Structure 1
Amino acid sequence: MAQYFEVHPDNPQPRLLKQAAALLAKGEVIAVPTDSSYALACQLDDKNAVDKLRRIRQIDEKRLLTLICRDLSELANYARVDNRQYRLLKTCTPGPYTFVLEATKEVPRRVSHPQRKTIGLRVPEHPVLAELLALHGAPLLASTLIPPGETEPMNDAEAIRDRFEKLIGAVIDAGACVSEPTTVVDLTPMDGGGEPALIRQGRGPLAPLGL
């Protein structure tokens, strides 16, 4: 049965988020608010938790998962970034974007794309998630909370609890999120002097990307 943490969206109660962080440390998958709908999140280096997240979402290993970071200072451990890419990332983060980058060897092979060795990276702009990341002390692995067989992400915490309470460890209720996915941009073409490639237009505007 999923625990339910109702927190203030701007000033979340640390006591409740510490409990949520403890569940993550135990290998649980939890539902978290972001700046673009709710997402399922777990520890990066916990194979069982990652496998569980994929089972809940009913996605295979070819589907890219997203690394959620508190800020860009954590970036170098997980992705290879040149100066052009970093300038663009700095312009657009925090915000509702997912960037596809070349993964470093620090990223477990089961997490990166099996053919391309890439990883999706996010620095979301949400106070609750930022505080949870700080308490956890490391990035989280996540996937937009889109129920199997559906196309729209969920943004209501109570509905998430009703649907997934037997499958996940907790739901963090910070009120309704925007029900719109992130803008996804592939930055790997920039490695060869090319330009960013738009994969999906979502909530993040294209102007800061030069697209």
Structure 2
Amino acid sequence: MAKILKIYPDNPREDLIDEVVKTLKNGGLIIYPSDTVYALGCNIFDIRAMEKLAQLKKIKLEKAQFSIICNDLSHLSEFTRPIDTATFRFLKNRIPGPFTFIMEANKNLPLAYKGNKTVGIRVPDHPIPKMIVEKLGHPIASTSIKDDDEVIEYSTDPELIAEKYDHLVDIVIDSGYGDNIASTIVDLTSGEPEVMRQGKGVL
């Protein structure tokens, strides 16, 4: 049964963030808020947690394209190939923000991402995921929560999300209603930014 933690962005309780981090370190799955939609997350270095995340999405892990949630630009060099000055400036002007950047991956990707030539990097403009990643000491894997409703693509009500995922995740962070517009996906692999999906972020 999922534990519901009420954590609000204006004053996140550190003890509750610590509880989330402990759950991630123990291989648990969490649902957390961001500057766009609510998302599922887990420890990128825990292969079993990554497999559970893939099962929830009804896909094989090797086919998964989970984003990597960072808290600043410093994590980029850990998982991506070196970028030129123009790309760095482009990113610096849009991070943090409602964007997912597709970048060329390097060989340091966690085991679950091995074989991927590209990786989606995201730095949400939201204090809760930022604190989680800071306290965990490394990024988390993430995927947006889709809604079964054909009109509303993404789930916004944390109470309904908690009901749906009650026996599937370990923690649901209730931070009030979320947005229902996902991040804008920008491909940076060709050198020129290319919008692959228009979402909340505007270039």
Aligned partner letter, 2:31? A
C-alpha separation between the residues in 2 aligned to 1:197 and 1:34? Answer: 23
Q: String of CA shifts for 1:77-97, please: whole Å, max 9, x gaps.
A: 011122222111101110000
Counterparts of 1:109-148 in structure 2, within 5 Å, are 110-111=112-113, 114=115, 117-147=117-147
C-alpha separation between the residues in 2 aligned to 1:122 and 1:4? Answer: 25
> Could you tell me how far 1:49 is from its partner in structure 2?
0.6
- Which of 96, 102, 105 aligns to 1:103? It is 105
> Could you tell me how far 1:45 is from its partner in structure 2?
0.9
- Which of 83, 89, 92 aligns to 2:91? It is 89
C-alpha separation between the residues in 1 aligned to 2:149 and 2:50? Answer: 20
**2:63 aligned with 1:62, yes or no?**
yes
Aligned partner letter, 1:85? T
SS of the residue aligned with 1:42? strand
Q: Which runs of 4+ in 1 moved over 4 A?
A: 147-151
CA contact (8 A) 1:67 1:141 kept: yes
Aligned partner letter, 1:164? Y
**2:40 aligned with 1:43, yes or no?**
no
CA contact (8 A) 1:153 1:180 kept: yes
SS of the residue aligned with 1:188? coil
Cα RMSD for the two superposed structures: 1.7
Aligned partner letter, 1:138? H
TM-score by length of 1: 0.89
Per mean C-alpha deviation after superposition, the further-off stretch among 43-52 and 55-64 is 55-64
SS of the residue aligned with 1:45? coil
State how many pairs are aligned: 200
> Could you tell me how far 1:99 is from its partner in structure 2?
0.2
Match of 2:195 in 1: 198
> Could you tell me how far 1:109 is from its partner in structure 2?
5.1
SS of the residue aligned with 1:101? strand
TM-score by length of 2: 0.93
Match of 2:53 in 1: 53
Aligned partner letter, 2:129? L
CA contact (8 A) 1:11 1:128 kept: no
The share of aligned pairs that are identical, in percent, is 38
SS of the residue aligned with 2:190? helix
Match of 2:157 in 1: 156
SS of the residue aligned with 2:87? helix
Match of 2:13 in 1: 13
Which structure 2 segments of 5+ residues have no match? none
Which structure 1 segments of 5+ residues have no match? 207-211
